[in-house]
Amino acid sequence: MTELVAKDITVDAGSATLVRDASLTLSPGELVAILGPNGAGKTSLLRAALGLLDTSGGTATLAGKDVATMPAAERARLVSYLPQRRPLAWPNTVRDIVALGRFAHGAALGKLGPQDAAAVASAISACDLEALAERNADTLSGGEIARVHFARALAASAPLLVADEPTAALDPLHQLGIAELLRRFVDAGGGALVVLHDIALAARFADRLLWMRHGQVVAAGPPAETLTRERIRDVYGVHAHVATDAHGFDVRIEAAQ
């Protein structure tokens, strides 16, 4: 089984410590959401766990192998990564951007093999992008671009997916759309680790929540166990109303502390 295991990760940047002794695991079949305020070290922890950032302590393994020494292409075939900043240098077509997800499989744009083409087509259809497939990226809306990036991550056909704020700058409907795509990926046997800022959305879709503050993981567990009024106050510094209803969790931020 492909498992991502990060143990006691510490990341320093100059004199500042971005992440301190943080651990996480991600297995197929689960959706893990990382919650925490800006600057809590969520992105740094993700990058360190993927071997994209130098650590000053701790280990990260993917399928039992150290990520730091794993070739980039091998890692990419096991876990696809959707970073927070997703700049596109050129106005490529949607199909080509999605096809870049097949890079680690040796795919070259414009001459995809049958396997690559099939993976790209299925990712495009999963994200409902068929109608936009031949459009240039600079003609798309923010919500459409977010779906294109998500499809790119899916096209890798990797068992694991790590996404850093995939719903950033999206309206509620599109946030829900991305969350549903994540859920579908997980229900089909994938494992997803996602940074989210919408607590209610995370509680509704995730199997486990990982709460971070000041570079440390302060709590981890299913929403029912870790999502409390006190936790939100401690982690985010705001007063909130938390209730459970038939649809899941109702979280309402009431006032700053």
Partner 1 sequence: MTPRVLTVLLLTASAGALLAACFLGSTPLGGARVIAALLGQGTAGDGIVLWEIRLPRALTAFVVGAALGTSGAALQGLLRNPLADPGVLGVTATSSLTATFALYYGLAATSAFLLPVYAIAGALAATALLAAAAIRIRSVVTLILLGVGLSSFSAAAMSLLLNLAPNPFTLSDMMNWLLGSVANRSLADLQFALPFMLVGLAILFANRRGLSALTLGEEAASGVGLDLRRQRIAIVLGAGLATGASVALAGAIGFVGIVAPHIVRPIVDHDPARSLWPSALLAGLILVLADIGVRLMPTATELKLGVVAALIGAPAFIWIAVMRRVTYD
Question: In this complex, which beta carbon is closest to partner 1, that of residue 24 or of residue 235?
Answer: 24
Determine the Cα–Cα distance for residues 36 and 215; give it in Å rounded to an integer: 10
Residue carrying structure tokens 């990712």: 123
Instruction: Give alpha helix (H) positions in the chain.
Output: 42-49, 72-78, 94-99, 114-126, 142-155, 172-187, 199-205, 223-226, 229-236
Among 14, 64, 90, 230, binds partner 1 (CB under 8 A): 90
Question: In this complex, which beta carbon is closest to partner 1, that of residue 66 or of residue 187?
Answer: 66
Among 4, 24, 34, 82, binds partner 1 (CB under 8 A): 82
Interface stretch with partner 1, choices 97-105, 178-186, 219-227, 228-236 (CB under 8 A): 97-105
Question: In this complex, which beta carbon is closest to partner 1, that of residue 152 or of residue 204?
Answer: 152
Among 42, 55, 67, 75, binds partner 1 (CB under 8 A): 75
Interface stretch with partner 1, choices 55-63, 100-108, 119-127, 196-204 (CB under 8 A): 100-108
Q: Taking Cα atoms as reference points, which of 152, 130, 166 lies closest to residue 76?
A: 152
Strand order in the sheet with 57-62: 16-26, 4-13, 57-62, 65-66
Question: In this complex, which beta carbon is closest to partner 1, that of residue 88 or of residue 188?
Answer: 88
52 binds partner 1 (CB under 8 A): yes
76 binds partner 1 (CB under 8 A): yes
Q: Characterize 30-63 residue by residue with b for buried, 16 or more Cβ atoms within 10 angstroms of its Cβ, and e for exposed.
A: ebbbbbbeeebbbbbbbbbbbbbbebeebebbbb
Residues lying near partner 1 in the complex (CB under 8 A) are found at 50, 52, 71-77, 80-83, 85-93, 96-97, 100-101, 103-104, 108-110, 136-138, 145, 152, 156
